[in-house]
A and B are shown apart, each in its own frame.
Chain A
Amino acid sequence: MAEAGRPVVALVGNPNVGKSTLFNAATGLRQHTGNWAGVTVSAARGTARRGGREFTLIDLPGTYALSARSPEEEVTRAFLAGGGADVTAVVCDAACLERGLILFYQVRELTGRAVVCVSMLDEAARRGISVDLEELSRALGAPVMGGGRGAEELLDAAAEAALGPPLPLLPPAGAAEQAAAAERAARRAVRTRGDPGAPDRRLDRVLTGRYTALPCLALLLLGVLWLTAVGANVPSQWLSALFARGEAALSALLAALSAPEWLRGALAEGAFRVLGWVVSVMLPPMAIFFPLFALLEELGYLPRVAFVADRAVQGCRACGKQALTMCMGLGCNAVGVTGCRIIDSPRERLLAVLTNSLMPCNGRFPAMIAVFTLCFAGRGGALAAAAAVAGVIALGAGLTFLLCRLLSATVLRGVPSAFTLELPPYRRPRVGQVVVRSVLDRTLHVLARAAAVAAPAGLLLWALAHVEAGGVTLLSALAGALDPLGRLLGMDGALLAAFLLGWPANEIVLPIALMIYLSGGSLTEWDSLAGLGQVLADNGWTWLTAVCMAVFSLAHWPCATTCLTIYRETGRLRWTLLAMALPTAAGGLLCAGIAAAARLAGLA
């Protein structure tokens, strides 16, 4: 109900109708997202001002209906039925008005104060669809406004509706009556010229065509990864230079405060340096990858990925939408795991959560690229390295399917649940807005969580590298103890120790290994690829070490941030542990198999 005289306006609508865009336009940065207790559904709440009045806006999850068959519907229905909103704004896509209006008639069975906001009118006009808003208002008996020009009109209409008496609720009706009413209203208000779906079908003939779909998908994916890798280089160097200066300043400050030597080392070379490394290595690729991904999302391409890949995913008894969460995992597995909320069936959602880390994230690419580039130096170079990384992704996809099939036959027994997938009209993305939102909502969010683990991890690392027992540092002792196991897996003890200690963030795995090789006692940065190659060669690396390192990097326990996210999403320790054990077992077996085969064949 009204909070301190502020009307509460709830936004409801089908998925992908521009509800959140409207919400963002109305509330700006005065918003926060929270989870509903007990279900993994989030709704954003924000404050809007208009003409000296304040409003509380609630962005309810996108739903097709209010019949309480999915957590989203349940939350939305309960909220509206419980009188949580003073005014309910039903947001409808102008290009698909009739379907949106079905939801309006359902909302009117729950509340007497509803307004309709028709979004994407300009996009619809470009397709030859025009909507007569006044006629629609008469047909529905409710205020109707266009959502194209910001949220002012919506807030005015909401303010007016909040003052007036509520209309009597509509009597409960079946799906057929609601659809018929929506059809009548849409027929009165919508005029169509030509074939509105023609541009989509032309694009779809290429992007989902029988022979073109998979090459297009591969090209787009490689393009995004290439842009991320190339574009992240320079800002990454700037940031690490900046952090190096910050570290010197911190060290000098601690010296001026006459702090003991060990404290200076632990804080500056331990905590601060690892934090700096994680930020400078993670931020630039994420700040490029996530906006690019969000652009594809806004364009409407991602549901097409699910459409194209569904047959393969179905074969391993999983949900077609898992193809989307796998793509998200390429940016960051924590984001991919959260993204699994789009999968309705709990069994299929768990499959997607448990296997998401088999898609190598941005934190693992740089080391793979560096190692492969060294491997193929003089034998194809960058192109061969890119192909090798693509091969690793393909291996990850193959392992994902295999594990899903295996899980479906054992602990997560079941057959694929029925699913419907909407292929929305392609839209011109609003680039500026998409970039800002994805940086604010995804990049900074993930970065903050990673940074929170990085600093304490830095302290621990520094301590391990400096505390000696019996003449060797704990770090060297750990590497020594792990060496037999490391050799069995085609690597060595230093690498295995690095994977263990790199749990906070995958970015620091290779630097920790270098630190052990050089016994430097703090994180090392490689100045040049050649220098790195020399260090690795001096420590007995062969092509086998490189391959096994890449395979194990692909398949081992997820990073700390991802593990935390898996725990939060599943709410169960045993699923989190399984999500760690499964890829580790797969990676371990693969590495041991590759190493044994190579040694048997006398190749290494």
Chain B
Amino acid sequence: MEERHVLTDLRPGQAARVTALDPRGELTARLAELGFLPGTRVVCVARAPLGDPTAYLVRGAVIALRGRDAAGVETGPGEEAGRG
């Protein structure tokens, strides 16, 4: 069985593609509107100094999410983002 990855697994500088959104999440619809959709590439940009929230680059915009909320976004395996 393939390992399950979520957005919170990404470290700053890593990128991954969204595979699914947790339909029970409070934020699911909002996240979809912000562009977190299956197939979308998301780059983890920065973590706040106290460890939460984390900022993600998605469709040209940087959005910060709390760990609790980001854990509902399933992704493929993370890889180093290179540029962008």
Contact = CB atoms under 8 A, between A and B. Distances in A.
Contacts of B69: 418-420
B23 interface: no
B34 A96 contact: no
A197 B27 contact: no
Contacts of A307: 48, 53, 55, 64
Interface residues of A, number: 45
Contacts of A175: 29, 32-33, 37
Contact of A423 (B31, B62, B84): B62
Contacts of A417: 26
A439 B26 CA distance: 39
A310 B52 CA distance: 7
A325 B32 CA distance: 28
Interface string B16-60: 000000000111011111110110100001111111110101011
Contact of A197 (B29, B31, B57): B57
A308 B84 CA distance: 23
Nearest to A311: B50
A200 B55 CA distance: 12
Interface stretch (A61-69, A466-474, A476-484, A595-603): A61-69
The residue in A69, A196, A417, A423 that gathers the most chain B C-beta atoms within 10 A of its C-beta is: A423
Nearest to A129: B60
Contacts of A200: 62
A423 B63 contact: yes
B57 to A, nearest CB: 6
A176 B32 contact: yes
A531 to B, nearest CB: 46
A184 interface: no
Contact of A209 (B25, B29, B49, B59): B49
A102 B61 CA distance: 13
A286 interface: no
Given A175-B32, A175-B37, A176-B38, A204 B46 contact: yes
A557 B60 CA distance: 45
Contacts of B33: 64-65, 67, 102, 175
B48 A423 contact: no
19 contacts: A96-B59, A96-B60, A98-B59, A176-B37, A196-B60, A197-B57, A197-B84, A200-B62, A205-B46, A208-B55, A209-B49, A310-B64, A311-B52, A320-B53, A320-B66, A416-B66, A418-B27, A420-B30, A423-B63
Interface of A: 64-65, 67, 69, 95-99, 102, 175-176, 179, 183, 195-197, 200-201, 204-205, 208-211, 213-214, 303, 307-308, 310-312, 314, 320, 416-425
Given A213-B49, A314-B66, A420-B30, 7 more contacts: A99-B59, A175-B29, A175-B33, A183-B59, A307-B55, A420-B34, A424-B61
